[in-house]
Amino acid sequence: MSGRFDPPPATAIQADVARALAEDLGKGDVTAALLPDVADAAYLLCKQDAVIAGRPWFDACHRALDPDVRIDWRIEEGDRAAKGTVLATLQGRARSLVSAERASLNFLQTLSGTATATAAYVDAVRGTKAQILDTRKTLPGLRLAQKYAVRVGGGVNHRIGLYDAVMLKENHVRAAGGLTAAIRAARAMHPELPLIVEVETLAQLEEALAEGCERILIDDFDAPTRRMAVRIAAGRIPLEVSGGVDLAGVRAIAEDGVDCVSIGALTKHVQAIDLSLKLGPPPDRN
């Protein structure tokens, strides 16, 4: 199930769910109170082709309101679902099923949207050595969840935040008086952390290669300069491309021989997957 993608700690998922339910339920679901508080069934329908991600959040929403709810998934986390697929069936209290519906779907549709977009980019570069990376351009409060969804879609996480890797960009280089000085200062201050260096010219690329780091970001290089950078680096340090990457052009970038392509759109341009939760048994055809 979701364990193969290393989901965030259960405490982080529970905190996400608690916030979502609190903002939706407030003092109580006044509409669900119109329903009889009896046992009922529901089914989860996928209304467009998608890569499914977010089962742990969906489950946690429903179990927060009904610890005894039974959720039977018909699809694994990370599987591709076709339009019209019944993803899961549920057995629980009618009021709880309805009250948890929107929060659970919000998580599942958003994270499946991120996983689906990531998978499209991964498919586009298949056969090259390039990995698809995410960025820190995530929805506020959902970083761990969206980073998880990127992994489900076959992508690789960049740094999680500003604390787990040093990334030198133009402002740092300017403040240090040059790229070499910035790299040496970063190494001296944080020798235990990975160092990623952004370069703007081939001359800076040569500097970064000479000083050493874990990855070099060649941001907004045109195609000829990018190919020259690959030849200069010659596999010594991985090269990452970022900036202005879209699905139509990512294959050409990967075929130039770069190691990574980072794409902010995976997590900031979220197109939620169309899902619905309906009371009652699923249609016989599923």
Asked whether residue 159 is marked as a ligand-binding residue, the answer is yes
Amino acid letter for position 262: S
Asked whether residue 136 is marked as a ligand-binding residue, the answer is yes
What is the pLDDT tens value at each position of the chain, 286 positions in all? 344 788 999 999 999 999 999 999 999 988 888 888 899 999 999 999 999 999 999 999 999 999 999 999 999 999 999 999 999 999 999 999 999 999 999 999 999 999 999 999 999 999 999 999 999 999 999 999 999 999 999 999 999 999 999 999 999 999 999 999 999 999 999 999 999 999 999 999 999 999 999 999 998 899 999 999 999 999 999 999 998 899 999 999 999 999 999 999 999 999 999 999 999 999 875 4
Asked whether residue 255 is marked as a ligand-binding residue, the answer is no
- Residues taking part in catalysis: 102, 137, 169, 198, 219
Paired tokens of 186: 């970063």
Structural domains of the chain in order of their starting residue, each with its CATH number: 2-122+270-279 (3.90.1170.20), 128-268 (3.20.20.70)
Cβ–Cβ < 8 Å for 62, 97: yes
- Give the Å distances, CA to CA, from 22 to 37, 41, 58, 103: 21, 24, 15, 10
Q: What is the pTM of this model?
A: 0.94
Asked whether residue 240 is marked as a ligand-binding residue, the answer is no
Q: Where are the beta strands (DSSP E) in 94-246?
A: 131-133, 166-168, 195-199, 215-219, 239-242
